[in-house]
A and B are shown apart, each in its own frame.
Chain A
Amino acid sequence: MSVLRFERVSYRYPDAPGDALREVSLTVAPGEFCVLAGLSGSGKSTLLRAAAGLVPHFHGGSFSGTVTVGGLDTRRHGPAEIGAVAGTLLQDPETQVIMSTVRAELALALENLGSSGAAVARAVEETSLALGIAHLLDRATAELSGGELQRVALAAALVSRPPLVLLDEPTSQLDPVAGDELIWQLRRLNQESDTAVLLIEHRLERCLAAADRVIVIAHGAVACDRDPTGFLEWAAENEPALQTPGARLFEQVGLRPLPTGVKQARATLRRSGMLAPAGSATAGEGVEDAAGAAGHLGSVAGLASAASIASRRPEPAESRRRRGRLGRREQQAPPALELRGVWHELRDGPAILRGVDLRLGAGESVVLMGRNGAGKSTLLRHAAGLLEPTRGTVATGGRVALLLQNPGDYFLRERVDQEAPAAALAQVGLAGLGARHPRDLSGGQRQRLALAIVLGGDRRAAVLALDEPTRGMDRAAKHLLARWLRDRAAEGIAVLVATHDAEFAAEFAARAVLLADGRVIADGPTAEILAGGWYFATETARILDGAGGALRPEQGAELLRAAVGLGFERPARPLLAEEVPT
């Protein structure tokens, strides 16, 4: 018995040179929570659209094989009928919502299915309660934030209580808090109502702990179909770009099993004595002697605590003097970008920025983080001069090149080489694609073309600002972008990136700024800011509790190896901060 079955399904889009799906066979049982993983362009979304009936009914093309959803063959039943047995949520929340109020949006699917008025009213009420959107029912959809819109769209997909729900990167436009909430809402739904879930997600660390199975699609075919732990083992051998940070951390140290989440990782570390047992005394809590603390715990946490205690020791006078001189020199150098007491207050509305002070030096790489609505995008627009502060000043050391969230918005011409100068195209690796139409480029190429457009021109940019550049990107593409941005910083361009992606932030930025309600609430080295939080922290930092400021798996592995090297025994002396690998 299966709620979804693919039997030798192949599919080619109209006019496409190759197959998007190749001989795909898989089944999803009722109540299963399956994650669909794969690199960009591997065919995940096409598979999901085939399950929803959009392929081939909506997109056309050539199709072979059989897809059965809730007993309905998609060759004989179109998306409207499949919609009764499979709720679907696509990527862009803006186009997911049709009606002008939330209540009407939820009612639409049921009205279309011919439900009675009373059944519609009850289902709307219950679904809104289940998804925590009852307070939004009478709100206009045009007034909702991206996160709220996505939850409303999810509710609209679930309101008919389908046995299967299909989701295409539903968290790609959400902040970490809203993204995690959505995944756990799905898990709750899955557990409480036995709804099967097929979820496409690039940030696998976010959903593996909730998943029963992971199906990997590569070049249109199923490459792996295992439980999450089995998938991580497979990825370690076959597709490292799909590994989660936690799995990469464990693999580098040789620890098993590879963890599907922070909880499992920490349990393994505890079992192997590398982490203090839950509930035991932690360093700094009544333990005066750092060495004693490290020895007592015999763990990474101990190492880090020792480091943290050591780092709190009075700084030597000479070092303080030297740092002061350097700091003053940095302050005296003209900034690439300086915001002084910047306010952005809406007429008849709230203040989006509240007295923001921010200074970027040439060549600095800074990441701007915060939940949706914290003011990140507004701050970038002020930096680029698209908005005027209602109070405060913005000064720049030159041109600010701003890449907004949708690279496609920059394209107005018919050819790539008409959009940007040749030198700028070469800088982003698009030199050979001048004759192509911008809209024919892949997602990553579009972003690079948009970068070439904003960086082109006669005046060199002093600041490069990017707004959520990693949306919908796989890990390999993010890695390339991070490297490219580091290169630009090395050339002396100040790079400022607004992102929700802590892993990407850790990979490219030296400094992190946290915004909340339009205020800067933290500003410091990335290792410091992203190591100590719940949401704005990398998976490595959450596994190691921020020990030693390790953010990336490689740094965490170094730390773990150091712990292993010490044989989990009392160190001869407390470690100093600079001795902990970062």
Chain B
Amino acid sequence: MSRPRRIAYRRRASPLHAARASIAAAYGAALATAALLAQHPLLLGALLCAVLGAGIAAGVGPELVRAALRAALPIALLSVLVNVLVARGGLTVFARLGDWGVLGQMNLTVEAVVYGLVFALRLLVVTLACLLVVCTADPDELLFACRRISPRSALTAALATRLIPVLGEDARRLAEAQRCRPDGGARGARGMLAVLRATVGGALDRSLDVAAVLELRGYGARGRGAAARRPLSRHDLAFAAAAGGLLAISVLAALGGAAPFRAYPLVSLPLTAAPFALAALLLVLAGVPFADRRGIEP
């Protein structure tokens, strides 16, 4: 049976997959945080390249690009459009659309477009960095790590994450069975609603089944044991260092105003050596851990 491929963790032969889940997640989070702190479009561009490069080096590039094109990019472009329509801070008007009632005078400015684009770029980088974490950090390992802090929440999350694909599969089967009816089953929105209702109706049974198995596996019995001690691998160290470096550089750059950018009232985009150097540094820091490919096989 052909099934649509979901964005999900799958163990691959890559340095990022070989690192422990918490460090892979920290690496992705560092990239996202750097994108949130960075103001200059050059830094954001460098971070976009870094995330995509990391995705490609980790073997999840196609998933990231597909997700970017399907979800992140449309949302980013929508945010540009909304910003252009609602922002009032720019001075360089390129289109006067007259009086729009409650919205007042609608003047489109270059500054609003630039700000919207930079915001969209930031959104894109953050989304891709999060998807990188989804694809490369083992969720079970993360859940086990969370259990030490909040065991019940972690297990509820485990149950929910297990139930989602089970219900998805149920919905697929129900829809297929409806197509086997002599009249082809209810179509369109009505058909989807019928399938949705049946899936939700069956969700209770399914969650009871999964909950029964959880009970049988000892959930709520005696508590939890200590985690297995694992020595830090070369990849753990490399990605942890990269994550730390990315964060440190981003925080220092933001605090020191090394790569300033201002959209309003007029666009100010200084292209000095500092933003270029910072962009290069971010790219190198993000890419270096992938150079060592020893011991990466699953």
**Cβ of B161 under 8 Å from chain A:** yes
The answer to whether A113 touches B180, judged by C-beta atoms less than 8 angstroms apart, is no
> By the criterion CB–CB under 8 Å, are A95 and B181 in contact?
no
Task: Check A113–B222 contact: CB distance below 8 A.
Answer: yes
**A456 B180 Cβ-Cβ under 8 A:** no
The answer to whether the Cβ of B183 comes within 8 Å of any Cβ in the partner chain is yes
Inter-subunit contact A58/B225 (CB<8 Å): no
Is B224 within 8 A of A409, CB to CB?
Answer: no
User: What residue of chain B has the Cβ atom nearest to residue A88's Cβ?
Assistant: B216
Q: Contact at A95–B194, with CB atoms within 8 Å?
A: no
Q: Is residue A108 contacting chain B, with contact meaning CB distance below 8 A? A: yes
**Alpha-carbon distance between A403 and B182 when the two chains are bound, in angstroms:** 12
B95-144 with Cβ < 8 A to chain A: 138-141, 143-144
CB distance from A200 to the nearest CB of B (A): 15
B286 smallest CB distance to A (angstroms)? 25
Is the CB of B294 closer than 8 A to any CB of chain A?
A: no
Stretch from B166-174, B243-251, B266-274 that touches the partner? B166-174
* A104 x B218 contact (CB < 8 A): no
| Contact present for A98 and B162 (CB under 8 Å) | yes
- Given contacts A114-B222, A116-B225, A117-B228, whether A98 and B213 have CB atoms under 8 Å apart is yes
- The digit string for A89-113, where 1 denotes a CB below 8 A from any CB of B, is 0101011111111011001111111
User: CB of A435 within 8 A of chain B?
Assistant: no
Using known A-B contacts A138-B11, A140-B8, A377-B1, determine if residue A117 contacts B229 with beta carbons closer than 8 Å: yes
Which among B35-43, B74-82, B204-212, B234-242 touches the partner chain?
Answer: B204-212
Give 1 or 0 for each of A71-83: 1 = CB within 8 Å of chain B CB.
0000000111111
A399 close to B (CB within 8 Å): yes
CA distance A436 to B222 in the complex (A): 44
Given contacts A100-B9, A143-B10, A457-B183, contact A80 B218 (CB under 8 A): yes
Q: In chain B between 64 and 82, which residues have their CB closer than 8 angstroms to a CB of chain A?
A: none
Known contacts A100-B140, A104-B144; A346/B2 CB under 8 A: yes
A386 touches B180 (CB 8 A): yes
A396-437 toward B: CB 8 Å interface, digit per residue (1/0)? Answer: 000101111010111110000000000000000000000000
Does any Cβ of A come within 8 Å of B265's Cβ?
A: no
A68 to chain B, nearest CB (A): 18
Interface size class of B (residues with CB under 8 A): 35 or more
- Residues from chain B with a CB closer than 8 A to the CB of A406 are 173, 177
Q: Does B227 contact A (CB under 8 A)?
A: yes
Query: B257 an interface residue at 8 Å Cβ cutoff?
Result: no
In angstroms, Cα B183 to Cα A80, docked, is 47
Chain B residue nearest to A142 in the complex (CB): B165
Interface residue A156 (Cβ < 8 Å from any Cβ of B)? yes
Say if the beta carbon of A541 comes within 8 Å of chain B: no
How far, in angstroms, from A458 to B184 measured CA to CA in the complex?
Answer: 12
Residues 177-206 of B at the A interface (beta carbon under 8 Å): 177-183, 186, 194-195, 197-198, 202, 206
Q: Which residue of A lies closest to B158 (CB)?
A: A98
B219 smallest CB distance to A (angstroms): 6
Assuming the contacts A116-B226, A377-B1, asked whether A80 and B220 have C-beta atoms less than 8 A apart, the reply is: yes
Interchain CB contact under 8 A, A54 and B222: no
CB distance from B2 to the nearest CB of A (A): 5
Contact B174 A100 (CB under 8 A): no
| Contact present for B173 and A54 (CB under 8 Å) | no
Across-interface contacts of B206 in A (CB, < 8 A) = 95
In this complex, what residue of A is CB-closest to B5?
A348
B169 nearest in chain A by CB position: A94
Cβ distance A298 to chain B, nearest Cβ, rounded Å: 52
A152: B residues at CB distance < 8 A: none
Query: B166: which A residues are within 8 A, CB to CB?
Result: 94-95
Q: Is the CB of B219 within 8 A of A80?
A: yes
Residues from chain B with Cβ under 8 Å of A117 in the complex = 225-229
Query: Which A residues are in CB contact (< 8 Å) with B197?
Result: 412
Chain A residue nearest to B173 (CB atoms) is: A409
Question: A108: which B residues are within 8 A, CB to CB?
Answer: 217-218
A95-B209, A99-B162, A454-B181 known; A58+B9 contact, CB < 8 A:
no
Q: How far is the CA of A157 from the CA of B225 in the complex (A)?
A: 18
Which of B212, B216, B229 has the largest number of chain A CB atoms within 10 A?
B216
The smallest C-beta distance from B258 to any residue of chain A, in angstroms, reads: 41
Q: Chain B residues near A140 (CB, 8 Å)?
A: 8-11
B7 CB-CB contact with A under 8 Å? no
In the complex, which residues 145-175 of chain B have their Cβ closer than 8 Å to any Cβ of chain A?
147, 158-159, 161-162, 165-166, 169-170, 173-174
For the complex, give the distance between the alpha carbons of A57 and B227 in Å.
30
Nearest-CB distance from A113 to chain B (Å)? 5
A452 to chain B, nearest CB (A): 11
On chain B, the residues within 8 Å of A412 by CB distance are 174, 178, 186, 194-195, 197-198
Of the candidates B1, B176, B182, B186, the one whose C-beta lies within 8 Å of that of A399 is B182
Which residue of chain B is the closest to A459 with respect to CB atoms? Answer: B182
A517 to B52, CA, bound (A): 38
Q: Is B215 part of the binding interface, using a Cβ–Cβ cutoff of 8 Å? A: yes
A contact residues, total (Cβ < 8 Å): 76
In whole angstroms, how far apart are the Cα atoms of A403 and B177 in the complex?
A: 8
A95 to chain B, nearest CB (A): 4
* Nearest B residue (CB) for A456: B182
Q: Across the interface, do B179 and A58 meet the contact criterion of CB distance under 8 Å?
A: no
With CB as the reference atom, state the residue of chain A lying closest to B211. A58
Answer whether residue B298 sits at the interface, using C-beta atoms and an 8 A cutoff.
yes
Bound-state CA distance A90–B202 (Å) is 18
**Residue in chain A with minimal CB distance to B180:** A402
A120 within 8 A of B: yes
Interface residues of A in 108-150 (CB under 8 A from B): 108-121, 138-140, 142-143
Q: Is A218 close to B, CB under 8 A?
A: no
A35 at the interface (CB under 8 A from B): no
Chain B residue at smallest Cβ distance from A101: B140
A377 to B161, CA, bound (A): 28
CB of A25 within 8 A of chain B?
Answer: no
Contact B298 A83 (CB under 8 A): no
CB-CB nearest in chain B for A408 = B202
Q: Are A98 and B214 in contact (CB under 8 A)?
A: yes
In the complex, A78 Cα to B178 Cα: how many Å? Answer: 40
A455 / chain B contacts, CB cutoff of 8 Å = 182
Known A-B contacts A90-B213, A95-B166, A412-B194; the reply to A80 vs B140 at CB < 8 A is no
Kindly state whether residue A453 has any CB partner on chain B within 8 Å.
Answer: yes
Shortest distance in angstroms between B81's beta carbon and chain A's nearest beta carbon? 33
Q: How far does the alpha carbon of A410 sit from the alpha carbon of B161 in the complex, in Å?
A: 26
A84 to chain B: which residues have CB within 8 Å? 218, 221
Is B231 part of the binding interface, using a Cβ–Cβ cutoff of 8 Å?
A: no
Min CB–CB distance A225 → chain B (angstroms)? 26
Is A81 touching B198 in the complex (CB atoms < 8 A)? no
- Residues in A with CB closer than 8 Å to B256 are none
A378 within 8 A of B: yes
Q: Find out whether the CB atom of A142 lies under 8 angstroms from the CB atom of B8.
A: yes
Is A101 touching B218 in the complex (CB atoms < 8 A)?
A: no
A112 and B169: CB pair below 8 A? Answer: no
Alpha-carbon separation in the docked complex, A334 to B288 (Å): 67
Determine the distance from Cα of A346 to Cα of B198 in the docked complex, in whole angstroms. 29
How far apart are B71's CB and chain A's nearest CB, in angstroms?
A: 20
> What are 25 A-B interface contacts by the 8 Å CB criterion?
A54-B216, A57-B215, A58-B211, A78-B220, A83-B215, A84-B218, A90-B209, A90-B213, A95-B166, A98-B162, A100-B9, A100-B161, A111-B147, A114-B225, A117-B226, A142-B8, A157-B216, A347-B2, A404-B173, A409-B173, A412-B174, A412-B197, A453-B181, A455-B182, A461-B182
Q: What are the 5 A-B residue pairs with the smallest beta carbon separation, nearest first?
A: A457-B182, A117-B228, A104-B140, A112-B218, A409-B177
Additional A-B contact list (12), CB under 8 Å, known A98-B162, A114-B225: A57-B215, A84-B218, A104-B141, A104-B143, A109-B217, A118-B229, A139-B11, A140-B9, A347-B2, A401-B182, A409-B174, A457-B182
Residues of B within 8 A of A (CB): 1-2, 8-11, 138-141, 143-144, 147, 158-159, 161-162, 165-166, 169-170, 173-174, 176-183, 186, 194-195, 197-198, 202, 206, 209-229, 298
